[in-house]
Amino acid sequence: MVKKVTENVYLIEHEEAANNVIIIGKKGVVLIDTSLFPEKAKSIAKFVRDFTMKNISLVFNTHYHPDHTLGNVAFDVPILAHELTRKKMEQFDASYFESLGIEYTEPKLPNVLFQDQFEYEDGLKILFIYGPGHTPDSSYVYIPSESVLITGDTVVNDIHPEIVPDSNLNVWLKTLDNMPQAKYVIPGHGDYGSYDSVKKMRDYIDKVRRLINGELNPYELETDPNFVERKHAEMLEWGIKNLTIE
């Protein structure tokens, strides 16, 4: 489903799968994340051409997870990511894909790398900012003129976020605190919302941190709307196990 966020930013939402975002510049289009499936990525490229009459000129990977990066192979354009994203993707092998229950696909690695921040201009300024926590390599996108924040999986709406073994909740909280207070917030999964989405994610991650540290009774979460109104509660249990298994 394609949803207009602003005149220059559109969300391509795939139910609960990873979101794609297109940013329409003066000369070309920037695509944020490329999906798990190369065929889906090809269909996104065709949609962009038909919809905007412009080609994708830059791809950005918010982090290394396959549902955000495997579609890279469909694009013969610069692929931007944090330097750790490339290092993580270089470690993809058959056993990693087997653990995820998907068939091995040789990844197309990012070839334009940054450390802290990367600035891109094409009729509007786009900032790509390093913001670890969900994963060590996570980054997000901010478009000041549109007041749009594109968070990758640092923010997730509607469903429980994926807390993985290399998540760091304390760092995640710091990244959320440092995010610009944009009018529109597009998460890695789920529908777009306001800056309230960032606040809710901060509350969620902080309570999970306190739960793991023994500072919060788990029964308190059973009546917390920020937890009970999200889909796939099994993800919460899975995420806690990821951070507590020694």
Q: How confident is the model at residue 245 (pLDDT cuts 50, 70, 90)?
A: low
CATH code: domain of residue 233: 3.60.15.10
CA distances from 155 to 32, 46, 161, 175, 213 (A): 15, 28, 8, 10, 22
Domain span including residue 48: 2-244
pLDDT at 154: 98
pLDDT at 101: 82
pLDDT at 105: 80
Q: Please say if the pLDDT value at position 16 is more than 80.
A: no
Confidence (pTM):
0.96
- Are β-strands 29-32 and 56-60 bridged in parallel, bridged antiparallel, or unpaired? parallel
The closest alpha carbon to 40, from 14, 60, 59, 76, belongs to 14
pLDDT digits over 34-72, tens only?
Answer: 999 899 999 999 999 999 999 999 999 999 999 999 999
3-state SS, residue 75? coil
- CB 226: neighbour CB atoms within 10 A? 13
Give percent of the chain with pLDDT exceeding 90: 89
> Concatenated DSSP letters for 185-240?
EE-SSS--B-THHHHHHHHHHHHHHHHHTT-S-GGGGGG-HHHHTSB-THHHHHHH
Structure tokens at 162: 């994926």
- Domain count of the fold of the chain: 1
pLDDT digits over 160-200, tens only?
Answer: 999 999 999 999 999 999 999 999 999 999 999 999 999 99
